[in-house]
Amino acid sequence: MLLIKNGRIADPASQTDAALDVLLDGEKVAQIGPSLEAAGSEIFDAAGLVVAPGFIDLHCHLREPGGELSETIETGTRAAARGGFTAVCPMPNTNPVNDSASVTRGILERAAAVAPVRVWPIGAASRESKGEALAEIGAMQQAGIVAVSDDGRPIATAKLLRQVMEYCRPLGLTVIDHCEDVSLAAGAVMREGPRSVRLGLRGMPAEAETVCVIRDALLAGLTGARLHVAHLSAKASLEFVRGARQRGYAVTCEVTPHHFTLTDEDVVYDSRYKMNPPLASREDREALLAGLADGSVDAIATDHAPHHTSLKDVEFDRAPFGITGFETALALALEQLFHTGRIGLLRLVELFTTGPARVLGCERRIAAGEPADLTLFSLEHEWTFHAEQSASKSRNTPFDGRSFRGAPMATIVAGRIAWRR
Ligand SMILES: [Zn+2]
Ligand SMILES: [Zn+2]
């Protein structure tokens, strides 16, 4: 048994923000209450720390199978544990693509052997994510996928998306889409605007995202399926998500730490600033911060996208899209949202826990009988992130060398300490 004493419990599900102890028995929470005692149990002194339900990352890339030069399930989940994540959802764009039960099982078997945190795979919506025929969605769900997506690209056509949604609705599976009109985005490497002109780089307009968000939201309305918009970056996209919800459609969205922290004005001729969707305008960033505060945004997701230095350290135009994100996500959220006073502690925790759980159609709370997954973090701990010391195999982050106030301090998964600072 593990007794977590003297912590500040922050549980959005019950709106609890109080000094309480938590007793874990095996893989479950046994008890929560003031001044607990349990003879013979191991004690974790959480004085000065927030004790939250285990963080869930809805969107990451672990690169295994096929991309082990950049990341493996082992290194990626070790980085996730250091970021406070107790569960991560890897996207299916591996090689082979996770479009069948056998690939799903392979990922889960590897995770069971090496991962310190839970791995909840996302299955492809279409075979090889090519946008032609449906993937084996039902068989993958039985094997353990928690949602479907063709991330890396949008679900190709409205017709296919409708089929995917009609298939997923009775299964209770959320359809996650990387919203991008590929004809508007073709050849672009950053957001279109004064900055792209000055750098001489091809830009894509915000509408490349929003056009697709509108298509997807309409089809969520038509089919009754749950749609989740991945890495939403544009103000207008968020307005259409709000509008779809007002119509009663089941539409949710996530925002990444890099999109609520940086803008296209930060882009320099350095491929660590190249990701998709690209960094957006100042006005977009303000809208994302407002949406994170007012409840329009459901989750913070990292879109952790490692690329080995040999692949990423090339000309901006040739470099792959994506940056790493597990180890800086919470610290950036504290920096941009909490320490600025934009949101309170329970809302911050909600964006990493109950919010993402709701997107997947499940719950997250600290209560007797629930899984013993907890994230312990400090609001004040001062530290500097050094990409060189990351547990990830990749170093592609624009936040290398950034100093932070607040950090993950321990990650507890199924009653065991998966990582401790
Ligand atoms: Zn994507
Ligand atoms: Zn992604």
CA distance 298 to 56: 12
- Gap from CA of 130 to ligand 2 centroid (Å): 16
State the number of CA atoms in the 13 A half-sphere of 115 facing the CB. 27
Residues surrounding ion ligand 2 at CB below 5 Å: 151, 303
The number of residues in the chain equals: 421
How far is the C-alpha of 80 from the C-alpha of 63, rounded, in Å? 14
Model confidence at 419, in pLDDT bands (50, 70, 90)?
very high
Is residue 327 within 8 A of residue 385, CB to CB? The reply is: yes
Determine if the pTM surpasses 0.85.
Answer: yes
> What are the pLDDT digits (tens) for 134-147?
999 999 999 999 99
| pLDDT confidence bin for 234, thresholds 50/70/90 | very high
Q: Give 323 Cα–ligand 1 centroid separation in angstroms.
A: 12
Closest CA to 396 of 326, 334, 331: 326
Tell me, in angstroms, the distance from the centre of ligand 1 to residue 153's CA.
6
Residue partners of 322: CB distance under 8 A and separation at least 6 = 61, 274, 275, 276, 303, 305, 306, 307, 396
| For range 368-390, the mean pLDDT | 98
Ligand 2 mean position to 35 CA, how many Å?
43
DSSP state, residue 343:
S
Q: Which residues contact 175 (CB under 8 A, 6 or more apart)?
A: 125, 147, 148, 149, 155, 161, 164, 165, 168, 220, 225, 226, 227, 228
The DSSP-derived string for 30-60 is EEEETT---TT-EEEE-TT-EEEEPEEEEEE
Q: What is the mean pLDDT of residues 322-336?
A: 98
pLDDT at position 75, please?
Answer: 98
Report pLDDT digits (tens) over 253-293. Answer: 999 999 999 999 999 999 999 999 999 999 999 999 999 99
Residue with tokens 């996208």: 305
Catalytic residues: 303
Q: What pLDDT score does 324 carry?
A: 98
**What's the pLDDT score for residue 296?**
98
**283 alpha carbon – ligand 1 mean position (Å):** 21
Q: What share of the chain in percent tops pLDDT 90?
A: 100
pLDDT of 345: 98
- Residue-wise pLDDT for 167-188, tens only, equals 999 999 999 999 999 999 999 9
Please list the residues that pair with 253 across neighbouring strands: 229
Spatial distance between the Cα atoms of 85 and 99, rounded to a whole number of angstroms: 25
**Cβ–Cβ < 8 Å for 392, 90:** no
Question: Counting ligands in written order, which one lies closest to the CA of residue 61?
Answer: 2
* Distance in Å, CA 39 to ligand 2 centroid: 46
Question: Which ligand has the nearest atom to the CA of 304?
Answer: 2
